[in-house]
Amino acid sequence: MPDIFATLIVTAANVAQARTIAAQFTVGEGMLTSELSATGNAPATHYIASGWVPEELVQTLTMCSVSDLSPAEAMTDKGLKPCVPSAT
């Protein structure tokens, strides 16, 4: 299967399972580490990864929301923002 561009968003509840599955693919190690939430504050409610990945990986990660949108557009579409550490 060819590589495709995908933005993957997964809930915090499913991120461990998604990371385990992704790690079975050469490019999947270390995926889904960028934290997201509706407010941009911790705790993270979702995690995101984006880039060129094997189509088979995308098909395997059935617990993820998959989009061909850019990360910024996909986050906006889901009402999410990157989590930024608090200054305090």
Q: Is 3 helix (H, G, I), strand (E, B) or coil?
A: strand
Euclidean distance between CA atoms 20 and 23, whole angstroms = 5
Q: Which tens digits make up the pLDDT trace of 52-76?
A: 999 999 999 988 999 989 999 999 9
| Mean pLDDT score of the chain | 91
Beta carbons of 46 and 12 less than 8 angstroms apart: yes
Domain boundaries, the chain: 3-82
What's the chain's Rg over C-alpha atoms? Answer: 13
| pLDDT for the residue numbered 40 | 93
| pLDDT for the residue numbered 1 | 77
Query: Two tokens at 40?
Result: 């941009």
Rounded to 5°, the CA angle 34-26-71 comes to 30
Model-level pTM?
Answer: 0.88
For domain 3-82, give the fold.
Answer: Alpha-Beta Plaits (3.30.70)
Q: What is the mean pLDDT of residues 14-24?
A: 95
